[in-house]
Amino acid sequence: MISKFQIATKNLLRKKSRTLLTLVGIVLSSWVLVSLLGFNRGYEKALNRDIDNMGYQIMVMAKGCPYEAATMMLQGGAGLRYIEENVVKSIETKPEVDKVTPILMQAFFDPNKGDGGGIAGYFGIDIATFPEMKPFLRFHKGSWFRDEAAAEAVMGYEAAELEQREVGDMILVPEKNVQLRVVGILERTGTQDDGTIFVPLRTLQRIAGLDKITTIGIKVKKDADITKLETALYQLPDMQVVSFSQVKMTIMKLIATARVMVLSIAVIALLIAMVGVVNTVLMSVMERKHEIGILKTMGAMPGDIFRLVWTETLILCATGGIAGIGLALVFARLSDLLVRRVLPYAPGGELVAIDGRLSLLTLLIIVIVGLLSGMYPAWKAGRVRPLDSIRGER
Partner 1 sequence: MRNAAPRGLDSLGLKPLHMLLPLCALMAPLSAAVSCELNYPTADVARLFPGSTGFKTIYFSFANRGGAPALRKVEARLGGFPALYAPLDVPYVVYEIYKGNEKIGYIHGVNQKGQFGVLEVFVSLDLEGRVKAFYLQRVAGQWANKFTARKFGTQFVGLTLKDFAQYNLLTAKGSGKVAAIANPVPEAVTDFLGILRAIEKNLILMDEFFYSAAKTKP
Give the nearest distance from C-beta 153 to partner 1 in angstroms. 11
> What are the C-alpha distances in Å from 111 to residues 114, 177, 360?
8, 12, 57
30 is a contact residue toward partner 1 (CB under 8 A): no
Using the contact rule CB under 8 A, the part of the chain among 64-72, 315-323, 360-368, 385-393 near partner 1 is 64-72
220 is a contact residue toward partner 1 (CB under 8 A): no
> What are the C-alpha distances in Å from 96 to residues 12, 130, 227, 361?
65, 18, 10, 40
Which residue type, as a one-letter code, is found at position 127?
I
Using the contact rule CB under 8 A, the part of the chain among 8-16, 86-94, 244-252, 293-301 near partner 1 is 244-252
Question: DSSP character for 196?
Answer: -
163 is a contact residue toward partner 1 (CB under 8 A): yes
Using the contact rule CB under 8 A, the part of the chain among 230-238, 285-293, 313-321, 375-383 near partner 1 is 230-238
239 is a contact residue toward partner 1 (CB under 8 A): yes
260 is a contact residue toward partner 1 (CB under 8 A): no
The phi-psi region of residue 353 (left if phi > 0; otherwise alpha if psi is between -120 and 50; otherwise beta) is beta
Spatial distance between the Cα atoms of 257 and 205, rounded to a whole number of angstroms: 45
Taking CB under 8 A as the criterion, the residue among 161, 187, 291, 304 binding partner 1 is 161
Dihedral of CA atoms 232, 234, 238, 243 in degrees, nearest 10, equals: 120
Taking CB under 8 A as the criterion, the residue among 14, 113, 146, 391 binding partner 1 is 113
302 is a contact residue toward partner 1 (CB under 8 A): no
Provide Rg for the chain, Cα atoms.
32
Nearest residue to 101 (alpha-carbon basis) of 147, 64, 133: 133
Using the contact rule CB under 8 A, the part of the chain among 63-71, 78-86, 287-295, 374-382 near partner 1 is 63-71
Name the residue nearer to partner 1 (CB basis): 35 or 240.
240
Q: Total residues contacting partner 1 (rule CB under 8 A)?
A: 58
138 is a contact residue toward partner 1 (CB under 8 A): no
Q: Are 378 and 299 in contact (CB under 8 A)?
A: no
Query: CA geometry: angle at 59 spanning 58 and 61, to 5°?
Result: 150
| DSSP state letters, 305-339 | HHHHHHHHHHHHHHHHHHHHHHHHHHTHHHHHHHH
246 is a contact residue toward partner 1 (CB under 8 A): yes
251 is a contact residue toward partner 1 (CB under 8 A): yes
Q: List all residues 6 or more positions away from 192 whose beta carbon is below 8 Å from its beta carbon.
A: none
258 is a contact residue toward partner 1 (CB under 8 A): no
52 is a contact residue toward partner 1 (CB under 8 A): no
Give the nearest distance from C-beta 301 to partner 1 in angstroms. 57
| DSSP state letters, 20-68 | HHHHHHHHHHHHHHHHHHHHHHHHHHHHHHHHHHTS-SEEEEETTHHHH
Using the contact rule CB under 8 A, the part of the chain among 110-118, 262-270, 289-297, 350-358 near partner 1 is 110-118
115 is a contact residue toward partner 1 (CB under 8 A): yes
Q: Are 50 and 192 in contact (CB under 8 A)?
A: no
Name the residue nearer to partner 1 (CB basis): 156 or 374.
156
Name the residue nearer to partner 1 (CB basis): 34 or 54.
54
Taking CB under 8 A as the criterion, the residue among 6, 48, 75, 179 binding partner 1 is 179
Spatial distance between the Cα atoms of 36 and 378, rounded to a whole number of angstroms: 31
Taking CB under 8 A as the criterion, the residue among 17, 93, 164, 257 binding partner 1 is 164
250 is a contact residue toward partner 1 (CB under 8 A): yes
57 CB neighbour count, 10 Å cutoff: 22
Return residues touching partner 1 (CB under 8 A): 50-51, 54, 63, 66-67, 69-70, 73, 110-115, 158, 160-166, 169-172, 174, 177, 179, 190-192, 194-195, 227, 230-231, 234-235, 237-243, 246-247, 249-251, 253-254, 345, 347-349
